[in-house]
Amino acid sequence: MKAKAKEISPQELAGIIRRHPRVVALTGAGISVESGIPDFRSAGGLWSRFDPMEYAYIHAFRRNPAKVWAMLKEMDALITGARPNPAHYALAELEARGFLAGIITQNVDNLHQAAGSKRVVEYHGNALVFVCDTCRGCHPRESLDFSHTPLYCLCGGLVRPDVVFFGEPIPPAAQAEAEELAQHCDLLLVIGTSGEVAPASYIPAIAKEWNAVIVEVNLEPTRLTYSLTNHFLQGSAGKLLPLVLQDL
């Protein structure tokens, strides 16, 4: 275990960004907390109310879809009611000004795109898109009546959000694009993720292998802070990222 990463200020992060021409961001649920979407593992997070073993695994959804739809409907209400926060807008502005090559997000809330980010790799899919679990046919969200769940496709299969449940693979295209971004960046901003869930948690290690500097933005240290991270900017992303932008 290495010593904890060096703590830096928003101004110092602006200087680091200016000195690195190929910056990529890896984001997790923490960046959307200030948009009203709870994260998963902080106190009061989603997994403190829904046991992931019973709600987040694909076999749990297939075995008891009515039960899992209770969580899916709660997530859908949170996501459709959420708006981007200053952290999302700051990353979109960094991209627009040429300081950010792309975002690899673990989030399924579409908030990076809503904030104007163009290159977004949806590593765990998008909860606003619905597909059939059997035939993969697309079911537009506006065609679905959530008052009668579970929902079924004409083929008889279960309709589900196009997200990656535990026990499912990462979409190959997303995995390939994420690895390409991680291998070619020289600075990886790891924002609002606990780094607990593989294979997304391997992305900082891939970037590090390709000599990238790793900077974490998080309310508190994570497992990465004592292993891979070079610099740690502690605090809320919604407050800190606009301050970084001010200094660029």
Catalytic annotation, residues: 124
Please answer whether residues 166 and 186 qualify as being in contact, where contact means their C-beta atoms are separated by less than 8 angstroms: no
Alpha carbon distance 113, 175 (integer Å): 19
To ligand APR, the closest distance from the beta carbon of 164 in angstroms equals 7
To ligand APR, the closest distance from the beta carbon of 171 in angstroms equals 13
Chain Cα centroid distance, residue 3: 27
Q: For residue 111, give both structure tokens.
A: 């908030």
Q: Which residue has the tokens 């301050």?
A: 243
To ligand APR, the closest distance from the beta carbon of 155 in angstroms equals 27
DSSP state letter for 166: B
Alpha carbon distance 136, 151 (integer Å): 14
Which residues here bind ligand APR, judged by CB under 6 A?
Answer: 28-30, 33-34, 39-42, 45, 106, 124, 192-194, 196-197, 217-220, 222, 236-238
Please answer whether residues 137 and 117 qualify as being in contact, where contact means their C-beta atoms are separated by less than 8 angstroms: no
CB of 22 or CB of 41, closer to ligand APR: 41
Residue, CB closest to ligand APR: 30
CB of 14 or CB of 107, closer to ligand APR: 107
CB of 19 or CB of 59, closer to ligand APR: 59
